[in-house]
């Protein structure tokens, strides 16, 4: 099996890298005299492993999320290289770079806390150990164990209610249509989806001549009348006209910011409360014409999908934890701003490291605390330290979450937003004299 093969190969050759976790992969390059290791967790679960690198130098961790470079203090020498613990969150990647310089005077070989700095006379670490904080160090060839009381571990604080502000338009993707074909009125209105029309028409046409007029209808409900509702038109092949509630929609189209080929048409003046009927008539000269892509409504509104018809409602401005797909924004693509206040007792600011931890799926997130940017995270792990920005009492927390255009362009309604309660975790700081 694979383990037998591995043992056989390592008995013949010096391995380049050893990783005790099958779902962590690596790429090794040498550039400008430095060994560079790119490691990635291919799993949707966090992975803890032991990493053995067979090379010389002092290790640094380069963070591709924010560009920071930090020494790796926690490692121990082995024959031909060094060994270190490595934790990668779900789908996380990192760079480890070996700096070709003399070995450090002090190396942390074992720890149940995170070693942040080794300074003259002390080692600084942070963590939440259950009992005592402990580290083992190697200095001048001698091993030594150091420990400190765990101290008071403060409870995690959570934020689960938010004020909500969309920075971009919400959308309604119209994918369910009724079609009537000129000359085939006896067949009535046939349910169709956007795409080439003729394969969806269930009857043989009396005459296959062209051009032919295709009449499309879709219905939606309005409990709220947006001031700037627009219709996005994409993939209309043939000459066309649009009616809303029986009235011909006039006005010039303009390019949408989504795509230069998508046209945008204002329709707020034609709306009414209750059921609305949208009609698109297209005269096409080929069987591949018609309404090829979904039509979309965009504007300042929220959406209810639980009713018989998709229903436009007043914008939702308060959100609970969970996907915004289920809170009025199933087809939203853009940036959503969350705002909340967090009360911090003074003990949270006493020699502690404060970290916000959140889950926003696979989207991009920016964090602001008290008016200043704390960090941007383009991918998991969504974790940002806010120690230097936090204060005793009321703290203003802002998250800006940006998803892809998939929800609006393809109508997929993929989950987005703050999917779990946001946690503020207070890590105790420890100082070990050396």
Largest CA distance in the chain: 95
In CATH, 157-167+313-427 is 3.90.1560.10:
no
> Is-cis flag, bond preceding 67, omega within 30?
no
**Where do you find CATH 2.60.120.260 in the chain?**
157-167+313-427, 172-299
The 10s digit of each residue's pLDDT in 385-410 is: 999 999 999 999 999 999 999 999 99
pLDDT tens for the chain, residues 1 to 434: 777 877 777 777 778 899 999 999 999 999 998 999 999 999 999 999 999 999 989 999 999 988 999 999 999 989 889 999 999 998 899 999 999 876 678 889 999 999 999 998 899 999 999 999 999 999 888 899 999 999 999 999 999 999 999 999 999 999 999 999 988 888 889 999 999 888 888 888 777 788 999 999 999 999 999 999 999 998 787 789 999 999 999 988 999 998 888 999 999 999 999 999 999 999 998 888 889 999 999 999 999 988 889 999 999 999 999 999 999 999 999 999 999 999 999 999 999 999 999 999 999 999 999 999 999 999 889 999 999 999 999 999 999 999 999 999 999 999 999 999 999 999 999 999 98
**Where do you find CATH 2.60.40.1180 in the chain?**
2-149
The 10s digit of each residue's pLDDT in 212-229 is: 999 999 999 999 999 999
Tokens of 312: 């436009």
Residue 418 CB partners (closer than 8 Å, separation 6+): 162, 319, 321, 322, 338, 358, 359, 360, 399, 401
Q: What is the CATH number of domain 2-149?
A: 2.60.40.1180
In CATH, 172-299 is 3.90.1820.10:
no
């Amino acid at each position: 099996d694979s383990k037998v093969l591995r043992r056989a190969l390592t008995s013949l050759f010096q391995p380049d890298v050893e990783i005790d976790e099958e779902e962590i992969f690596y790429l090794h390059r040498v550039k400008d005299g430095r060994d560079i290791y790119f490691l990635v967790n291919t799993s949707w679960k966090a992975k803890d492993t032991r990493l053995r690198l067979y090379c010389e130098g002092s290790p640094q961790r380069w963070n591709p999320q924010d560009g920071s470079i930090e020494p790796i203090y926690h490692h121990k020498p082995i024959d031909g290289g060094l060994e270190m613990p490595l934790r990668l969150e779900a789908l996380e990647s990192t760079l480890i770079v070996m700096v070709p310089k003399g070995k450090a005077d002090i190396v942390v070989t074992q720890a149940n806390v995170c070693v942040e700095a080794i300074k003259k006379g002390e080692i600084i670490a942070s963590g939440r150990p259950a009992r005592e904080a402990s580290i083992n160090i190697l200095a001048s060839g001698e091993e030594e164990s150091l420990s400190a009381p765990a101290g008071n571990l403060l409870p995690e604080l959570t934020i689960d209610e938010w004020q909500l502000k969309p920075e971009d338009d919400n959308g309604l993707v119209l994918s369910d249509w009724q079609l009537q074909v000129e000359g085939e009125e006896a067949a009535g209105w046939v349910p169709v989806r956007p795409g080439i029309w003729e394969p969806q028409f269930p009857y043989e046409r009396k005459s296959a001549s062209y051009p032919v007029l295709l009449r499309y209808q879709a219905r939606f409900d309005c409990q709220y009348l947006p001031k700037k509702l627009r219709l996005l038109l994409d993939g209309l092949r043939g000459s066309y006209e649009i009616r809303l509630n029986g009235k011909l929609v006039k006005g010039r189209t303009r390019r949408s910011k989504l795509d230069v080929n998508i046209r945008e048409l204002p329709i707020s003046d034609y709306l009414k409360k209750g059921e609305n009927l949208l009609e698109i008539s297209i005269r096409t000269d080929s069987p591949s014409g018609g309404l090829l892509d979904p039509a979309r409504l965009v504007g300042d509104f929220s959406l209810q999908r639980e009713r018989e018809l998709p229903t436009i409602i007043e914008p939702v401005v308060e959100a609970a934890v969970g996907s915004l797909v289920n809170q009025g924004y199933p087809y939203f693509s853009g940036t959503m701003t969350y705002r909340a206040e967090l009360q911090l007792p003074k003990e949270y600011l006493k020699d502690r490291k404060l970290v916000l931890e959140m889950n926003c799926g696979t989207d991009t997130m920016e964090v602001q605390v008290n008016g200043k940017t704390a960090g941007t995270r383009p991918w998991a792990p969504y974790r940002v330290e806010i120690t230097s920005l936090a204060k005793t009492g009321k703290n203003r927390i802002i998250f800006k979450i940006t998803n892809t255009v998939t929800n609006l362009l393809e109508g997929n309604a993929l989950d987005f937003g703050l999917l779990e309660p946001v946690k503020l975790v207070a890590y105790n700081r420890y100082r070990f004299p050396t």
